[in-house]
Chains A and B, each alone.
Chain A
Amino acid sequence: DAGITQSPRHKVTETGTPVTLRCHQTENHRYMYWYRQDPGHGLRLIHYSYGVKDTDKGEVSDGYSVSRSKTEDFLLTLESATSSQTSVYFCAISESQGRGGQPQHFGDGTRLSIL
């Protein structure tokens, strides 16, 4: 299995609190992604990174911010969590955007519940 670790794996928190999810990779891949997965929607891109300190928004970025200070770590922050952000969050990595630009490896997800 590819070396991707997400933490925490499960979290329950209250509306209005800040939340940070961490993704750590040991593959030295350039591209890292954060997705959320909800029933009926499939996977939707929140933010992605194409290098250290280089990030960009995805299709559902409102209410989320990211940071990447090291190649191996990509953080996703919910500044003030809302119930609509209850979801399963997946981190993914990709070596390049060449042949097969889709993420090559996914983490096992963080199940986040906001009450």
Chain B
Amino acid sequence: KNQVEQSPQSLIILEGKNCTLQCNYTVSPFSNLRWYKQDTGRGPVSLTIMTFSENTKSNGRYTATLDADTKQSSLHITASQLSDSASYICVVSAIYTGNQFYFGTGTSLTVIP
């Protein structure tokens, strides 16, 4: 069964600290993986997208990694800011499944001063 699991479910960190969010998937055959940031009351915004051949992708203070062998991805946030408080969602696509995307339930991050 194709699934995406994210951990932790929620996380609280101090401003300026780093953190790492995890995404494990069983989707097969794997096509690509995208991380979104969703602010409260807003729609998700794409942060990074990674294909099978990509191990690391950065977007400012956000760095995503992908290990296709272990079917794990992580999103690392460096020097967190209050504006990083949001839900982070991992979405995985499989080859040949058209518009079937597999969504994780997200990690809720709170950055406190």
Give residues in A with beta carbon < 8 Å to B. 4, 31, 33, 40-45, 48, 50, 56, 58-59, 90, 92, 97, 99-109
Contact = CB atoms under 8 A, between A and B. Distances in A.
Given A56-B99, A107-B43, A40 B32 contact: no
A43 B91 CA distance: 10
Interface string B18-33: 0000000000000110
Interface residues of B, number: 23
B106 A101 contact: no
A42 B99 contact: no
B105 A100 contact: no
Interface of B: 31-32, 34, 36, 41-46, 49, 51, 89, 91, 93, 98-101, 103-106
A97 B51 contact: no
Contacts of B41: 108-109
23 contacts: A31-B99, A41-B105, A42-B104, A43-B44, A43-B103, A45-B100, A45-B101, A56-B99, A90-B43, A90-B44, A99-B49, A100-B93, A101-B31, A101-B32, A102-B32, A102-B34, A102-B46, A102-B101, A103-B101, A106-B43, A106-B44, A106-B45, A109-B42
